Chain A
Amino acid sequence: MSTLWLVLAVNSVTFGGLLFLLSAGFSLIFGLMRIPNLTHGSLFMLGAYFGATFVGGMLGIVFNFWIAALIAAVVVAALGAVLERFLLRQLPGQQLAQVLVTLGVSFMAADFCLMVWGGDPISVATPPSLVGFLRAGPAVFPLYRIAVIVIAVVVAIALWLLLDRTRLGAMIRAGVDDPDMARVVGIRVSQLFTIVFALGAGLAAFAGIIGGPILSVYPGLDQDMLPLALVVVILGGTGSLLGSFVGSIIIGFIYNFGQAMFPELAYFVLFLPMLLVLILRPQGLFGRFVP
């Protein structure tokens, strides 16, 4: 029995890592621009499809997995920048219009993926250096999943360094805390927004391809992942990187242990805690503001 708990515990952390990669972008965008980016699931899926195309050699060249992931992230980041610059920028503060346009774009993205890649699921090969397991007695831990948590930690540290130690990061933090004052001080908030949105989109796409060997790529991936991102952001709190990270790990635990221990409640295992947190503490566990 203790093997079960050990496996679940480690998987909670690794699944949490993937969730962090998925939700970091959303948290960043929402924290800075207060835009509920409902295209986030689609960006994740696009990253996964593009990544799978590059890794699978569908364009004639087989890319190394990590390079493919970076290329996919850059491509989707560019798409994100276009989306922000031409669509979202015209709608500052108009939450309803933002919802409409992000959902509209997600419909288009989903249909686009269906048109280009067809309806069949696509398997993403695990990078050859990470095939295999780590064994601790009877417990088995897939190497790739352990790699995912390492990647998540690296990305988290990189983001933290960006936000805390660079000028860009200082501007972003200023923008999150008080956008109007930031403008007064001379920060080009509009340009900042585009950069941050592109960063968020790129992160989502990167998460998509990193998740590829675990989740595979299939139509409907966007709809499956978006609620998860929302749950993490809400639980961890908006605008807080630490919150996102811890929130992701906590969700990982709830997901794994909840489904194993309460199979009857598997459908509610994530939304019931989310509901409870929202009712008791609307700003989330680490949130800095009540959205």
Chain B
Amino acid sequence: MAVGFLALVALPYWIPGIYYLNVASQILFYAIFALGLNILVGYGGLVSLGHAGLFGIAAYATGYLLQSGFGHSFAILSALVLGMASMALYAVLSLRTTGIGFIMITLALGEILWGLAYRWISITNGDNGISLHGRPAPFGFDINSAASFYYTTLVVFLIAVVSVAIFVRSPLGAALMGTRDQPRRMNALGYHVWAIRFWACMFSGLLTSAAGILFVYYTQFISPQTLALTSSAEVLLMVISGGAGTLFGPIVGAALVVIVKNVVSGFIERWNMLLGAIFVAIVILMPEGLVPGTARLWRLAWRKKMSTGAKAEAKP
């Protein structure tokens, strides 16, 4: 893991070109988005098909406020606040059911937000979208270049990973996983299941909004397509394919999807089919996801190696 960390930090130096550096930045903020969704899907057992809506709210808030003349810090903070407020409303509406009901409510909410993005033209400018000009300068650093933006994203990403790790190991995280596995028992034990889920949603909303803000600063543009059902499905696929309920799963999943979409698509024309085939292959070979699956296969190989070694020794 230390090697991975060093590799990430030193990325701009060994990556072949500015284009791939930008892809890396994208992987990182999509990973943050996936980490946020994973709080609900993996640790909470609540599959949300409308998360792109929340991602979009933070992005639109940033764009709209910047366009109205406000400064970057105000825009970012407001976007975070607005994102979380929306998440609160979202949670209140969706947490009335679980399972497929939750999926459907979140899908409906996502579609409604998408429709709003198209129709509320006075704020969102419809499908012409909002263009941004420039990026903020945190602590005076200019982050317009690819490398500096990458480092900013990396910092936010590391904070996100650490905070998710802390969350998972915390009592709230444990309680959340409890509600995922045994909601009735948790209830019987006196845990307030709804409140646990609600706060998990808020944490998820914070991460999602952060990812949305990074996205809009990276792309310098936001339009309704970002809130479409396909976007929500895409981030869900990142979480599931990488391994829901694990720390690194969403990150690997995000890397997979971003790389196939952006890099592999430059070499293979039918990349959409390839992506679908990869998902199917993952389900066949490692239905729990890439990260847990690889870990399992690794352990299997290790055990085989150990047992053949022991057998070799046992032979007289």
A binds B: yes
Q: Are A271 and B115 in contact (CB under 8 A)?
A: yes
A164–B175 Cα gap in the complex (Å)?
A: 45
Residues of B within 8 A of A87 (CB): 280, 283-284
Which residues of B are found within 8 Å of A112, using beta-carbon distances? 273
> Which residues 106-165 in B have Cβ within 8 Å of A in the complex?
107-109, 111-112, 114-116, 118-119
User: In this complex, what residue of B is CB-closest to A111?
Assistant: B273
Chain A, residue nearest B229 (CB): A227
A36 interface neighbour in B103, B240, B284, Cβ under 8 Å: B103
Report how far A15 CA is from B230 CA in the complex, Å: 25
With a CB–CB cut-off of 8 A, which chain B residues contact A90?
Answer: 283-284, 287
**Residues of B contacting A59 with CB < 8 Å?**
none
What are the residues of chain B within 8 A of A97 when measuring CB–CB? 240, 283, 287-288
- Whether A94 lies near B93 (C-beta < 8 A) is no
CB <8 Å contact, A104 and B108:
no
> Residue of B at shortest CB range from A88?
B283
Residue with the highest number of chain B CB atoms closer than 10 Å, among A91, A104, A223: A104
Question: Nearest CB to that of B105 among chain A residues?
Answer: A278
Q: Which residues in window 219-235 of A have CB below 8 A to B?
A: 223, 227, 230, 234
* Range class of the B interface residue count: 35 or more
Q: Whole-angstrom distance between the alpha carbons of A238 and B105 in the complex?
A: 15
Q: Specify which of A87, A90, A108, A115 lies most central, judged by the most chain B CB atoms within 10 Å of its CB.
A: A108
Q: What residues on B are CB-neighbors of A274 within 8 Å?
A: 104, 108
Residue of B47, B108, B241, B288 with most chain A CB atoms under a 10 A cut-off: B108
* B98 to A: closest C-beta gap in Å: 9
A290 touches B (CB below 8 Å): yes
Which residue of chain B has its CB nearest to the CB of A36? B100
Q: Is A264 an interface residue (CB 8 A)?
A: yes
- Across the two chains, which residue of chain B brings its CB closest to A272? B112
Task: For B244, give its contact among A96, A223, A238 (CB under 8 Å).
Answer: A96
Chain B residues with CB under 8 Å of A91's CB are 283, 287
CB within 8 Å of B: which A83-140 residues: 87, 90-91, 94-97, 99-101, 103-112, 115
Cβ of B195 under 8 Å from chain A: no
**B226-284: which have CB < 8 Å to A?**
229-230, 233, 236-237, 240-241, 244, 270, 272-273, 275-280, 282-284
- Chain B residues 259 to 316 lying within 8 A of chain A, measured CB to CB, are 270, 272-273, 275-280, 282-284, 287-288
Shortest C-beta distance, A3 to chain B (Å), equals 29
B288 CB to closest chain A CB (Å) equals: 8
9 A-B contacts (beta carbon < 8 Å):
A91-B287, A99-B240, A100-B241, A111-B270, A223-B229, A223-B230, A268-B111, A272-B112, A275-B108
Question: Sorted from nearest, which 4 A-B pairs have the closest CB atoms?
Answer: A104-B279, A267-B115, A107-B276, A108-B276
B contact residues vs A (CB 8 Å cutoff) = 41, 47, 93, 96-97, 99-101, 103-105, 107-109, 111-112, 114-116, 118-119, 229-230, 233, 236-237, 240-241, 244, 270, 272-273, 275-280, 282-284, 287-288
